[in-house]
């Protein structure tokens, strides 16, 4: 568990049990209290939401939780709008993840443009992952999309995947090398000794909480862990 989330869980138990002796009442006041409780948080954004006496807190641009105006209680979970049945937490996370998508290091991915390429998605994929191979089969049925594939070998599951990934990246035509390997099992004929972005991508994946492949990211902020059929991919790409 991320250190911030662990501290948040512990603090939530403490606050609910003991109550806060500090006064909040305003967004700035709540922020000051939280900053004393979570000094490791690099950034805190507090805003009132139309749900009782609740305030939404975004920490480090990626963690969402809720508190009351005096920080007597903390909710680290999913918040629904009872009237509209909308998942408010998911909507906020989608907004934050959309910003994350735009910041992905696309120059460190294998880019493939199909059709007009207007729709965009990113895939973290392991060359030896059977579900990744099945995903590639589904992607052949999708057009008018730009696909960014981030090579993400998971050593604990596939000990040879890292070397194969390096060879793909070091190939003259990375897209062809990737397609030949993932779809046909044809390995690139090079030693994979060039400089690759794999360490950076593995670090990025850990930060994003990717624990398995394939991991799919869409331009609207949607994240999909695992395989999805072509018809579902079409819906995701169209923002549905």
Q: Give me the CATH topology for the region 105-237.
A: Glutaredoxin (3.40.30)
pLDDT (tens, 9 = 90+) of the chain, 240 residues, equals 455 555 544 444 444 433 444 445 688 888 888 888 878 776 788 888 876 788 888 887 678 888 888 888 888 888 888 888 888 888 887 777 676 788 899 999 999 999 999 999 999 999 999 999 999 999 999 999 999 999 999 998 999 999 999 999 999 999 999 999 999 999 999 999 999 999 999 999 988 888 899 999 998 888 898 999 999 999 999 987
Specify the domain boundaries for CATH 3.40.30.10 within the chain.
Answer: 105-237
Residue with tokens 């120059």: 107
What are the distances in angstroms from CA 118 to CA 49, 134, 146, 196, 219?
Answer: 35, 23, 7, 28, 11
> CA–CA separation, 175 vs 156, rounded Å?
25
Residues with Cβ within 8 Å of residue 165, at least 6 apart in sequence: 127, 151, 153, 192, 196, 198
Give me the CATH topology for the region 3-85: Nuclear Transport Factor 2; Chain: A, (3.10.450)
Token pair in block for residue 22: 């500090």
Total-model pTM:
0.70
Give the integer Cα–Cα distance in Å for 240 and 229.
15
> How far apart are the C-alpha atoms of 174 and 186, rounded to whole Å?
13
């Amino acid at each position: 568990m991320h250190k911030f989330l662990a501290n948040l869980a512990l603090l939530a138990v403490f606050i609910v049990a003991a109550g806060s002796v500090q006064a909040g009442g305003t967004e700035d006041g709540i922020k000051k209290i939280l900053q004393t409780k979570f000094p490791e948080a690099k950034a805190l954004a507090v805003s009132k939401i139309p749900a009782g006496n609740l305030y939404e807190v975004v920490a480090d641009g990626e963690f969402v939780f809720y508190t009351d105006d005096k920080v007597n209680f903390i909710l680290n979970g999913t918040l629904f709008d009872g009237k509209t049945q909308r998942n408010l937490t998911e909507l906020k996370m989608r907004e934050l993840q959309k910003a994350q998508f735009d910041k992905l290091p696309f120059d460190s991915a294998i880019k493939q443009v199909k059709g007009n390429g207007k729709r965009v998605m990113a895939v973290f994929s392991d060359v030896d992952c059977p579900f990744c191979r099945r995903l590639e089969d589904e992607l052949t049925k999708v057009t008018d999309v730009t696909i960014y594939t981030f090579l993400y070998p998971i050593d604990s599951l596939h000990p040879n995947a890292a070397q194969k990934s390096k060879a793909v990246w070091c190939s003259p035509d990375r897209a062809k090398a990737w397609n030949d390997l993932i779809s046909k099992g044809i390995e690139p004929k090079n030693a994979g000794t060039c400089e690759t972005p794999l360490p950076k991508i593995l670090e990025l994946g850990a930060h994003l909480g990717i624990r398995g492949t394939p991991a799919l990211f869409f331009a609207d902020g949607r994240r999909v862990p695992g395989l999805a059929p072509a018809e579902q991919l079409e819906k995701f790409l169209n923002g549905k």
